[in-house]
Amino acid sequence: MSLDHRLSEEHEELRRTVEEFAHDVVAPKIGDYYERHEFPYEIVAEMGRMGLFGLPFPEEYGGMGGDYLALGIALEELARVDSSVAITLEAGVSLGAMPVYRFGTEEQKRAWLPKLCAGEMLGAFGLTEPGAGSDAGGSRTTAVRDGDEWVINGSKCFITNSGTDITGLVTVTAVTGRKPDGRPRISSIIVPSGTPGFTVAAPYSKVGWNASDTRELSFSDVRVPVENLLGEEGRGYAQFLRILDEGRIAIAALATGLAQGCVDESVKYAKERHSFGRPIAEYQAIQFKIADMEMRAHMARVGWRDAASRLVNGEPFKKEAAMAKLYSSTIAVDNAREATQVHGGYGFMNEYPVARMWRDSKILEIGEGTSEVQRMLIARELGLGA
């Protein structure tokens, strides 16, 4: 019996549809948005109309009735052209809407998911803090119960989709008490945009992902109803670990797309660029470089699809997700570096997509769990360490 990671007819149709959208709609416009550091509302709205933000959610909540494999396929095809658009979708779905779907009450799901699935509203994931990145359990943001309200104080940083004109909510992790052993009891609470005391800072000046929205958030006596608690009190950390496990598959798919986009651009350029009277594609040094890039992208694809299939089939996937995320992010950086080299001086010019890919690749080794954290998770799953 052999494993078959080829796509079903339905998934392949989705792949072709998103591929066409990425090349026909995203590619001609995104460079200008990127140069201006401007959020591409027009493109995001079209993605919403296509149903991309609702891919893995049931139709009863306005979703498309698909699965996490479908989301990964869409992310890979978008990232072959641009990562800012891809991360907007990834964060909107796996970090913004998924916590509500996985852990929300029926009332919370019906209140938030239809607009999130339609792309009319974006959700954000408020986990990272200035002093608590990989150590998310070190959160200093607090939420104190005051009658029928939570009073939230603290700050979050590097939060994607948190300050757009269509951001509707941020799910925030906060310390709501202490366990008997003194460790913090962390809970997840939905904070709607515009709530008094909830301040969204100006966009960061970033190395890459310049057409996506990333900001710092602060909470000063922010009051929300107790009903905004997401899931059980004290289970917020465990909930977000589950969300991050899933999100690593999505980031792996995105990283694979960037790696494949580097191949696409390098093949095209190598056939067009002449040196010493011949296309550089005829030189073995270039051929071998691009062949290695293609090999890496292919193996990354096998990895994330394997992790996604385990998730979809209800099997353990934590180790496979960590391996997929670690490998794909590493080779995305490798491919971006090599693609820049293939392009020579033009690879250093922002008008060429590989320049964006080079700038966008590094964050993939950091966001949603650093490479060091992935290695810790893999080792732990192997029974190593404490």
Residue pLDDT, tens place only, 57-93 = 999 999 999 999 999 999 999 999 999 999 999 999 9
Catalytic residue among 129, 216, 233, 368: 368
- The 10s digit of each residue's pLDDT in 287-324 is 999 999 999 999 999 999 999 999 999 999 999 999 99
Q: Where are the domains of the chain?
A: 9-122, 124-234, 238-381
Average pLDDT over residues 238-249: 92
Average pLDDT over residues 326-341: 98
CATH placement of domain 9-122: 1.10.540.10
Q: Which residues are paired to 225 by β-bridges?
A: 149
Burial class of 273 by CB neighbour count within 10 A (0 to 12, 13 to 18, 19+): middle
Sequence-ordered list of residues with C-beta below 8 angstroms from that of 268, at least 6 positions apart, any chain: none
**pLDDT-derived band at 3, boundaries 50, 70, 90:** low
User: Distance between CA 241 and CA 237 in Å, rounded?
Assistant: 6
The pLDDT value given to residue 147:
97
Q: Yes or no: say if 214 and 160 are a contact pair by the CB < 8 Å rule.
A: yes
Topology of domain 238-381, CATH: Butyryl-CoA Dehydrogenase, subunit A; domain 3 (1.20.140)
Q: Yes or no: say if 242 and 127 are a contact pair by the CB < 8 Å rule.
A: no
User: Distance between CA 290 and CA 338 in Å, rounded?
Assistant: 8
Do the domains 124-234 and 9-122 match in fold?
no
Give backbone dihedrals phi and psi of 116, rounded to 5 degrees, phi first: -65, -40
* Residue 60, number of CB atoms within 10 A of its CB: 11
Q: Which tokens belong to 120? A: 């009319």
**Widest CA span in the chain:** 79
Q: Is 368 a catalytic residue?
A: yes
Q: Yes or no: say if 123 and 169 are a contact pair by the CB < 8 Å rule.
A: yes
Assigned architecture for domain 124-234: Beta Barrel (2.40)
pLDDT of residue 386 exceeding 90? no
- The 10s digit of each residue's pLDDT in 252-277 is 999 999 999 999 999 999 999 999 99
Helices (H), 51-105: 68-79, 83-90, 98-103
**pLDDT-derived band at 134, boundaries 50, 70, 90:** low
- The 10s digit of each residue's pLDDT in 143-176 is 999 999 999 999 999 999 999 999 999 999 999 9
